[in-house]
Structure 1
Amino acid sequence: MITRKSSLPVLLGLTLVLTACDQPKTTGPGYQSAVPGKAVVTVDGTSISEPVFESFAAAQGLSPATAENREARQKLAEQLTDLELLAQDAARQKLDQDPEMASSLLAQYYTTMAGLAVQHYTTDHPLTEEQIQAAYADWVNTLPKTEYHARHILVKDEATAQAILEKLDQGADFAELAAEHSLDPSKSEGGDLGWFTPDQMVEPFSAAVIALKAGETAEAPVQTDFGWHVVRLDETREAEIPKLDEARDTVTNHANNKQIEDYLAELRKNAKVKVDKKIIAGDKPVESKT
């Protein structure tokens, strides 16, 4: 007898993919009126309309329909049938009324609705070229103005680092000591770290580099989470600032984020918000003893 191959792994995978994509998992009685259209699948009187089907199909790269994806779209219809059957059975058992499950569904609702609000706002308020140029100017002001070319020798303890500093004071070659003692891959390059900006290094290290003049070695070892560093600054140069055309995507993202921050600030200003800090902190009321 030929039996139908289990679609459970595919079905579970479909629900995970669609959850990640914020796609609807079922038609859901509360949303059917919002998605009218010809019924693609009907399960016990509940229809999965064409717009809903195409939403799922798009999430899998199966829209629009072609001769090549016809079989895959048919399998998708079977998977959606299974989803609807499971959803209806869950509703019959009132599983969605379980407090934990209801909280999970509500969290998904918040995330989806918030995403829709942001999408709608950005669509209705497209960025102008003037806004992008202003955002570019603001972004440029946040960029480091100087690049540094430095070397270091990384060791596991302060005593070893101090001993290396003493050898340098006696005229030893920095690159040779790096090759001999450093725990960092840069040891093969004499400890050379190449050019970098301060934000690319951990703060204690970058602070030590910034304090040096070209050709100087830090008088004391620098401690970071990686170990102890003997640091030398070779040279500095003015950082190259990307042109707007080169940084347009980054700048546009910054501008969009700023726009959403302003949008949220306006919503907050017009809303009454109360926060229970005790619940957030995990404080629970003490039960009185009778």
Structure 2
Amino acid sequence: MSNALFPDLTVNGEPVPQAVIAAEAQHHYAPKDKPGIAWRKAANAVAMRSLLLQEARRRGLTPKAQEIGPGRFETEEEALIRGLLDQAIRVEAPSKDAIRAEYDRDPGRFRAPPLWEVSHILIACDPRDPESREKAEVRACELADKALQAPNRFTQLASETSDCRSRATGGVLGQLCPGDTVPEFEAALHKLSEGEVTARPVLTRHGWHVIRMDALAEGAVLPFEAVKPRIADALERTAWARAAREFVATLIEQADITGADLSRPI
């Protein structure tokens, strides 16, 4: 039933069943005591999808569903929205001068992968279990403080306390490259200087890690020709995203929507 907290949604005169919004709301986070936030987020998402579908059907599009994974195909709605964006959004390939200017703006952004020599202390836990996670975090924070106060004791601390098999070698993981570890661990490596220890433990699917960067070899700056295709692709994707935002903004401006507000994010 419609009320101020859960209003009915209408897009260009087309009512949207509340069951559709309720199903979408399951995919949007909100505090337990504020279910209206999840509803508004869901209403906005459904309204935007409805706008795109209406425009696709107005244009008479009938795209064939594409395979998006082994044995997995787009839904009819996904195919319609993709077909609409394919038709409505066209961007030109960036010129060589534009690609060169982007490279020259800061060649240092284009490097070969770095090489890290890393040691760590792992306090294992199941991150999905709040009690286990919090208990392990307290222990990991204690070890991080000890390692920061006495860096020369890191190897000893790892040998005595780590739940990783690397404890046998004082926590040494050896040389690592991007892609060798889980994303959360790698993200921490990108922030560390040589000899630095993480001030706070890092949580991954394996538990809490206290990490030390033993040695760091920055990758060499790559020549223009080596990164030209990558820059061209990035510039084209940026231009496509900008054109997509403009296209969507036009649809929103021309639309008559009640029960959702697409003028600002929630």
> Which is higher, the Rg of structure 1 or of structure 2?
1
TM-score by length of 2: 0.45
> As a proportion of its length, which structure holds more helix?
1
TM-score by length of 1: 0.42
